[in-house]
Amino acid sequence: MKRIAMGVAAALCVQAAAAQQTEGKVIYERTIEMQIRIAGMPEEMQRQIPRTRTDKIEVSFANNQSLRKQLPQEETDEQVFNNTVDGGGQVRGGVSIRMMGAGADDATFTDLAKGTITDQRELGTKKFVVSDSISKLSWKLTGETRTILGYACQQATAQRITMRMQSSIVNGQVKREELPDTANITAWFTPAIPVAAGPEVQGQLPGLILAIDINNGRTVYKALEVSPKVDVAVIKEPKGGKKITQQEFREEQNKLMQEMQRNNGGRGATFRMSN
């Protein structure tokens, strides 16, 4: 009798594993804390600059592949803030700040089986495709758990050391410099959906990522909706654009920023949110 019971339990385990979700779509809300200060701008005007930016990200996954795209913004992609406006609402000189969202066709395709990631990026009127291997981090399971949208999740932490661009405005001119950046990442993933997809750090954890916190709230992703329905046909490697390296793409970004600064007469800066 005991042997029969064990056989039934094993069969149930196999059946449960077979029923695990391996394809679907997730909508995430992303909130970015922006640190913008302009030398010479009065403190009262500094406080008028928005401190956070929120948008939504869609991640589709199936067949051990995933595709990430930014959803259209409810407000306009470009917001301009002027630091001096007279009583009639007219701008008197001043500095403008433009915050621009990702291009409409920007996408990130990840082949989880091959460990590769391909970005399609739009800069101005140009499109580029940047391919690379997944840079895996050293993750630590903390043992902490929480429930997100009904899914039991485990916490994992890691550090990511990269280079970042810092923009500053000095005497009306935008200066950009590359600085080393250490990001402390906390991710919550669910083994109930054993697919290594997510809005960032894809291909690195044994389950779908439903929440990420980078640098104590500097960038936060949280899943708003998980659906088993997905258009599998859209999950494919992007082809539209010139193939370049990561370094070449950074150089193109710098060229665009400099061009926009010249077109703005040296009075402002543009901050672009990547996809």
Query: What secondary structure letter does DSSP report for 71?
Result: P
10 burial level (CB within 10 Å; 0-12, 13-18, 19+): exposed
Q: Domain for residue 14, yes or no?
A: no
Give the pLDDT of residue 175: 66
Give the pLDDT mean for 79-96. 41
Say if 13 falls within a structural domain. no
What are the residues whose beta carbons fall under 8 Å from the beta carbon of 56, sequence distance 6 or more? 27, 28, 29, 30, 70, 71, 224
**If you search the block for the tokens 């077109």, which residue do you land on?**
263
* Residue 110 lies inside a defined structural domain of this protein: yes
Q: Which domain holds residue 200?
A: 21-272
Q: Rounded distance, CA 218 to CA 196, Å?
A: 23
Residue 222 has pLDDT above 90, yes or no: yes
Instruction: Give the total number of structural domains in the chain.
Output: 1
Average pLDDT for residues 197-215, to the nearest whole number? Answer: 97
Banded pLDDT at 257 (limits 50, 70, 90): confident
Instruction: Look at 200-214, 244-258, 261-275 and tell me which has the smallest mean pLDDT.
Output: 261-275
Residues 6+ apart with CB under 8 A from 86: 92
Mean pLDDT of the chain: 78
Could you please report the per-residue DSSP string of 30-66?
EEEE-----TT--HHHHTTS-SEEEEEEEEEEETTEE
